[in-house]
Amino acid sequence: MKINELATLKAESPDTLPSAERRNFLKIGLAVTGVYLGGTVLSLTSVVDALAEGPVPSSGKYPYSPHYTMVLREHLCIDCELCKEACVKTNNVPSYGYRTTILERRRDIVGGEKETIFMPVLCNQCNRPPCVRVCPTTATWKDEKTGIVVMKNSRCIGCKTCMAACPYNARYFNEETRAVDKCDFCWESRLSKGETTPACVEACPADVRVFGDLADHNSRVFQLLHTPGSIVWVLRPETGAIPNVFYTNA
Amino acid sequence: MKKIVAIGFVGAILFSYLLISAADQPAVEQEPYDEDAYGPEALIVWNEPVKGVFFSHQLHTMEMGLDCESCHDDLFEMEAGAAEGQDDFTMAAMGDGMYCGACHDGSMAFDVNSQCASCHQQPEDAIVWTKPVKAVIFEHKTHSEDMGLDCESCHDDLFTMQAGAAEQADDFVMASLYDGLYCGACHDGSTAFASDTRCTTCHIGVRGYARLMGEAETPAHGAEH
A137 and A229 together in one domain: yes
The DSSP element (H or E) to which A179 belongs, if any, is strand A179-182
pTM attached to this predicted model: 0.73
Among B140, B175, B130, B183, CA closest to B158: B183
Whether A79 contacts chain B with CB within 8 A: yes
Looking at residue B132, its pLDDT comes to 94
Q: What is the tally of helices (H) and strands (E) in chain A?
A: 7, 12
Both A36 and A132 in one domain: the answer is no
b/e A30-63 (16+ beta carbons within 10 angstroms → b): bebeebeeeeeebeeeeeeeeeeeeebbeeeebe
Residue A232 lies in a domain: yes
Reported as a pLDDT band with limits 50, 70 and 90, residue A51 is low
Separation of alpha carbons A67 and A148, rounded Å: 9
Phi then psi dihedrals of residue B216, to 5 deg: -70, 145
Cβ-defined contact of B225 to A163 (cutoff 8 Å): yes
Alpha-carbon span B50 to A156, nearest angstrom: 57
Q: What is the number of other CB atoms lying within 10 angstroms of the CB of residue B13?
A: 12
Whether residue A78 and residue B207 make contact (CB cut-off 8 A), yes or no, is no
Please answer yes or no on whether A205 and B208 come within 8 Å at the CB atom: no
What count of CB pairs under 8 Å joins A to B? 55
Task: Tell me yes or no: is domain B2-118 CATH 3.90.10.10.
Answer: yes
Q: A63 in a domain, yes or no? A: no
Whether residue B205 contacts residue B211, with contact meaning beta carbons closer than 8 Å, is answered with no
Dist. CA A105–CA A119, nearest whole Å = 8
**Which segment of A147-151, A205-209, B72-76 scores lowest on mean pLDDT?**
B72-76
The pLDDT of B173-177, averaged and rounded, is: 96
Tell me if B2-118 shares its fold with B127-212: yes
Is A10 among the domain residues?
Answer: yes
Q: Which residues pair with A212 in a beta bridge?
A: A69
C-alpha distance from A69 to closest chain B C-alpha (Å): 24
Residues A33 and A126 placed together within one structural domain of the fold:
no
Return the higher-pLDDT residue of A18 and A71. A71
Residue A102 lies in a domain: yes
Does residue A52 form part of some domain? no
Mean pLDDT across B203-216: 90
Of B198, B203, B221, the CB nearest to A97: B221
Confidence grade of residue B179 (pLDDT, cut at 50, 70, 90): very high
Quick one: A41 and A139 in the same domain?
no
Q: What is the dihedral of CA A100, A106, A109, A111, to 10 degrees?
A: 130
| A129 and A40 within one domain | no
Model confidence band, residue B222 (pLDDT cutoffs 50, 70, 90): very low
DSSP assigned state of A53: T
Is the pLDDT assigned to residue B20 strictly greater than 70? Answer: no
Whether residues A209 and A92 fall in one domain: yes
Q: Where are the domains of chain B?
A: 2-118, 127-212
Residues A199, A233: one domain?
Answer: yes
Residues of A in contact with B220 (CB under 8 A): 98, 101, 169
pLDDT of residue B183: 96
Q: What is the CATH number of the domain that holds A147?
A: 3.30.70.20
Instruction: Pick the residue from chain B with its C-alpha nearest to A163.
Output: B225
- Which of these CATH numbers, 3.20.190.10, 3.30.413.10, 3.90.10.10, 3.40.1190.20, describes B127-212? 3.90.10.10
Indicate the length of chain A as a whole number.
Answer: 250
Q: Would you say residue A173 lies in a domain?
A: yes
Domain total of chain A: 2
- CA dist list (Å): A234 to A69, A126, A162, A245, B58: 12, 11, 20, 7, 67
Per-residue pLDDT reduced to its tens digit, A103-131: 999 999 999 999 999 999 999 999 999 99
Q: How far is B225 from chain A (nearest CA, A)?
A: 8
Boundaries of domain holding A26: 3-46
Average pLDDT over chain A, rounded to whole? 91
Instruction: Examine the domain organization and report whether A99 and A187 are in the same domain.
Output: yes
A57: in domain: no
* B208 close contact with A: CB closer than 8 A: yes
Greater pLDDT, B162 or A74: A74
User: Are the CB atoms for A234 and A243 separated by under 8 Å?
Assistant: yes
Cα–Cα distances (Å) from A166 to A4, A157, B167, in that order, read: 39, 17, 41
- Let me know whether A119 and A196 are in one domain: yes
The residue among B221, B224, B225 with the most chain A CBs within 10 A of its CB, best to mutate, is B221
B110 within 8 A of B104, measured Cβ to Cβ: yes
Percent of chain A beyond pLDDT 70? 96
Mutate to test the interface with A, among B129, B177, B178, B200 (most CBs of A within 10 A): B200
Q: Which helix (H) or strand (E) holds A203?
A: helix A199-203
A62 falls within a domain: no
Is residue B15 within a helix (H) or strand (E), and if so which, with residue range?
Answer: helix B2-24
Judgement on whether residues A40 and A74 belong to the same structural domain of the protein: no
Measure in Å the smallest separation between the Cα of B201 and chain A Cα atoms: 7
Mutate to test the interface with A, among B178, B206, B224 (most CBs of A within 10 A): B206
Q: Is residue A9 located within the same domain as residue A131?
A: no
User: In terms of domains, do A120 and A33 share one?
Assistant: no
**B201 contact A CB<8A:** yes
Q: How would DSSP label each residue in B141-186?
A: HIIIIIT---GGGTTTTT--SSTTHHHHSTT-SHHHHHTT-GGGGT
- Chain A hits for B199, CB-CB cut-off 8 Å, are 75-78, 206
**Looking at the predicted complex, does its ipTM rise above 0.85?**
no
